[in-house]
Amino acid sequence: MSGEGLTVRDLRVTFDGFKAVDGVDLDIRPGDLRFLIGPNGAGKTTLVDAVTGLVKATGSVTFGGEELLGKPVHKIARLGIGRTFQTATVFEELTVLQNLDIAAGSGRGPLTLLRRRKGVPESVTKALETTGLTDLRDRPAGVLAHGQKQWLEIGMLLVQDVKLLLLDEPVAGMSHDEREATGALLQRVSEDHTVVVIEHDMDFMRSFARSVSVLHAGKMLSEGTVAEVQADAKVQEVYLGRASEPEPAAVPVPEEA
């Protein structure tokens, strides 16, 4: 499988009169590794919120032929769309293994749920390997380092068997090495999933993006390959010529433990 495509048409989200997303069209091909960039307040996170059912929106969002707008969050998730948040949210009191097992189980029947977990589902073992968390599987997720929590979240999306991953700033606050490892992880994941990444980090984008969309003030400013987008005069203007400069978040932080 190579994931499913996402089609967004004329998406609008309004907060008390403020147009956070203002008529966005977006086409993401199956198997793409798309980066969604833009200045703060451009509407990137709100776009993802709208797609995943967290905020109300008008327009149309279709995925594998199904209209998403108006569906509750958990139904959208079951169609195969998973997301992460800017601050990693894992279940801190449960172990890494338990976190992954829960993520793997939204389709479980009551009888399976009422029984004790015996052994480890294959998909969970695979996700542990993919994310490099095998050695930490019996640790409570609360004690993981920041980067490891982000990987766990991605691992949870993998076992959830999603076709489309929406990642909100997965490398924010990560060290250089962690960032490289995450990039490699994303490339591996995108081999058989569609991935959309919201990112501020331009270096990271240049290294790993297959295609890029630039949002500005709730509207789509530019789309294309990394090179095309960087050459776009409108984009350079929005970023005040900083398109080639890394943002503050990209300054390598000292290695964490």
Partner 1 sequence: MTVILNQSFTGISIGAVLLLIALGLTLTFGQMGVINMAHGEFIMAGAYTTYVLQKSISSAGVSLLVALPLAFLVAGAMGVLLEWLLIRRLYTRPLDTLLVTWGVSLMLQQLARDIFGAPNVQTSAPDLLTGNISLGGGITFANSRLFILGLALLCVLALTLILKLTPLGRRIRAVVQNRDLAEVSGIATGQVDRMTFFIGSGLAGVAGVALTLVGPIGPTMGTNYIVDAFLVVVVGGIGQLKGSVITAFALGVLQSVLEYSTTVSVAKVMVLVAIVAFLQWRPQGLYTLRTRSLA
Partner 2 sequence: MTTTTPSVTSVPLLERFRVPGGFVLGAVLLLGVAPLALSDFRLSLLAKYLCYAIVAVGVSLAWGRGGLMVLGQGVFFGLGGYAMAMHLKLADAAATGETLPDFMQLYGTGDALPWWWKPFANPAFALAMTVLLPMAVAAVLGFFVFQRRVKGAYFAILSQALAAALSIWLIGQQATTGGTNGLTDIQGFFGYDLNDPVNQRMVYFIIAAVLLVLMAIARQLFVSRYGELLIAVRDSEERVRFLGYNPANVKLVAYVVAAGMAGLAGALFVPAVGIISPALIGIVPSIGFVIGAAVGGRASLVGAVLGAIAVAWAQSTLSDAFPAAWTYLQGLLFVVAVGFLPGGLASLGVVLRKRRTRTTPIPTGETA
Binding interface with partner 1 (CB under 8 A): 15-16, 49, 54, 85, 89
3-state secondary structure of 94: coil
Which residues are CB-neighbours of 103 under 8 A, at least 6 positions away?
155, 156, 157, 159, 160
For the bound state, the minimum distance from the C-beta of residue 186 to partner 1, rounded and expressed in Å, comes to 22
Nearer to partner 2, 160 or 190 (CB): 160
Q: 209-227: string of b/e by CB count within 10 Å (b at 16+)?
A: bebbbbbbebbbbbbeebe
Which residues are CB-neighbours of 166 under 8 A, at least 6 positions away?
48, 51, 52, 81, 82, 83, 84, 196, 198
Single residue of 16, 17, 40, 116 touching partner 2 by CB under 8 A: 116
H or E element: which one contains 224?
Answer: strand 219-224
Helix axes 146-159, 122-131, angle to 10 degrees: 150
For the bound state, the minimum distance from the C-beta of residue 251 to partner 1, rounded and expressed in Å, comes to 22
Residue 215's binding partner out of partner 1, partner 2, none, with CB under 5 to 8 Å set by partner kind: none
For the bound state, the minimum distance from the C-beta of residue 81 to partner 2, rounded and expressed in Å, comes to 9
Binding segment (CB under 8 A) for partner 2, from list 38-46, 92-100, 207-215, 248-256? 92-100
Are 250 and 204 in contact by the 8 Å Cβ rule? The answer is: yes
Nearer to partner 1, 49 or 101 (CB): 49
56 is a contact residue toward partner 2 (CB under 8 A): no
H or E element: which one contains 10?
Answer: strand 6-15
Residue 135's binding partner out of partner 2, partner 1, none, with CB under 5 to 8 Å set by partner kind: none
Binding segment (CB under 8 A) for partner 2, from list 3-11, 62-70, 84-92, 201-209? 84-92
For the bound state, the minimum distance from the C-beta of residue 220 to partner 2, rounded and expressed in Å, comes to 25
For the bound state, the minimum distance from the C-beta of residue 257 to partner 1, rounded and expressed in Å, comes to 26
150 is a contact residue toward partner 2 (CB under 8 A): no
Which residues are CB-neighbours of 249 under 8 A, at least 6 positions away?
172, 173, 200, 201
